[in-house]
């Protein structure tokens, strides 16, 4: 109950509830407002990707845009926070070590950051810059040595960043494995070994998805 005050010996009634905040917004819970804001960012980012031709670029998971949208949705199913889901949507923006097509230049990172935010863009760059042959074996180690393939710099990223990277990598690979049975049969055993070595970096939902997707029979 809201507090009331005494005036001339009488209790002043509480003001009527209008359903609006002082700034004019409707009184929706903060969580609902954050979810709506995140959905808006997703839509804006998807339009950016489409404007860069992502819907017409072939990809092992169909078109590049379809793959990016599924990866973001999968991360959402696993409970990833909004910046990670946005990074999932844009994870191939600068190309990757396994998919060289670029939608934007790493030299102009501020352009993507203005759309999806700095935290999400940092993860997009981190994912794109990974020298996989060097970095994958080291990722679960305490130091987690990581080589930037654009600059050649070897880093020791914090565990939180490596967890986000592992989660995004799992979503990327599992989406392709789901929609492309031929590639799942070809690369499934190696992916299972990789993600088993990363078990301590993956969330429980991601690890469950690894087990059910990669070990499922190919039809």
Confidence (pLDDT) at 39: 76
Residue 217 lies in a domain: no
Confidence (pLDDT) at 72: 98
Residue 161 lies in a domain: yes
Ranking 32-46, 76-90, 139-153 by mean pLDDT, the lowest is 32-46
Q: What is the DSSP string of 121-158?
A: HHHHHHHHHB-HHHHHHHTTSSS--EEBTTT--EE---
- Here the CATH number for the domain that contains residue 62 is 1.10.3210
Q: How confident is the model at residue 40 (pLDDT cuts 50, 70, 90)?
A: confident
Confidence (pLDDT) at 119: 97
Confidence (pLDDT) at 34: 62
Q: Which residue range forms the structural domain that includes residue 180?
A: 35-212
Once rounded to an integer, what is the mean pLDDT over residues 66-70? 97
Residue 201 lies in a domain: yes
CB 178 within 8 A of CB 213: yes
CB 32 within 8 A of CB 83: no
Of residues 29 and 42, the one with the higher pLDDT is 42
pLDDT of 137-167, one tens digit each?
999 999 999 999 999 999 999 999 999 999 9
Closest CA to 150 of 171, 173, 166, 127: 127
Residue 12 lies in a domain: no
Residue 107 lies in a domain: yes
Tell me the average pLDDT of the chain: 87
Confidence (pLDDT) at 3: 38
Residue 134 lies in a domain: yes
pLDDT of 20-31, one tens digit each?
444 444 555 665
Residue 11 lies in a domain: no
Structure token digits, residue 76: 């959402």
Count of the separate structural domains present in the chain: 1
Q: Reply yes or no on whether the pLDDT at 60 is more than 60.
A: yes
Q: Reply yes or no on whether the pLDDT at 219 is more than 60.
A: no
Confidence (pLDDT) at 215: 80
């Amino acid at each position: 109950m809201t507090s009331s005050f005494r005036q001339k010996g009488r209790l002043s009634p509480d003001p009527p509830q209008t359903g609006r905040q002082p700034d004019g917004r409707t009184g929706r819970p903060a969580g609902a407002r954050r979810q709506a804001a995140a959905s808006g960012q997703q839509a804006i980012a998807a339009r950016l990707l489409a404007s860069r031709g992502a819907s017409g670029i072939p990809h092992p998971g169909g078109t590049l845009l379809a793959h990016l949208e599924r990866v973001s949705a999968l991360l959402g199913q696993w409970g990833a926070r909004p910046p990670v889901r946005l990074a999932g949507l844009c994870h191939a923006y600068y190309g990757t070590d396994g998919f060289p097509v670029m939608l934007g230049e790493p030299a102009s990172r501020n352009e993507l950051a203005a759309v999806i935010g700095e935290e999400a863009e940092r993860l997009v760059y981190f994912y794109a810059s990974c020298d996989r042959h060097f970095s994958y074996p080291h990722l679960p180690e305490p130091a987690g040595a990581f080589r930037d393939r654009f600059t050649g710099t070897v880093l020791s990223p914090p565990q939180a960043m490596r967890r986000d990277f592992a989660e995004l990598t799992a979503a990327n690979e599992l989406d392709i494995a789901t929609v492309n049975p031929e590639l799942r049969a070809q690369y499934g055993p190696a992916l299972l070994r990789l993600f088993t070595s990363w078990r301590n970096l993956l969330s429980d939902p991601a690890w469950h998805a690894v087990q059910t997707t990669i070990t499922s029979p190919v039809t």
